[in-house]
Amino acid sequence: SASDDIATRAFVVSLKAPCSGKTTNEFAEITGLSVRQVNRIYAHAIERGVDPNHGLVVILDSYLEDAPRSGRPSTDLRIIIC
């Protein structure tokens, strides 16, 4: 989905920064995401280090990537052909 794309997440964070002057509803319309998705992406980025009140918004991949999921790790399947 579009909200899984790191470039879309970066776009949302850059647009939603206070200096852009746009509303969340406008962001949702521009990106095709729901208001809830826009707010979630932005909140996660802030939790991970984005400072929206800084004049220059710096966006790192680590601010936007999904957090590791809990539970059993996926199995590494390897096929060995002799």
pLDDT in tens, 22-65: 888 988 888 889 999 989 988 888 888 777 776 666 666 666 66
- Residue whose C-alpha is closest to residue 57's, from 9, 10, 2: 10
Inter-residue contact 69 to 34 (CB < 8 Å): no
- pLDDT for 48: 81
Q: Is 43 left (phi over 0), alpha (psi -120 to 50) or beta?
A: alpha
Give dist(CA 50, CA 34) in Å, integer. Answer: 21
Residue 77: pLDDT over 60:
no
* The pTM of the whole model exceeds 0.85: no
Token pair of 62, please?
């680590």
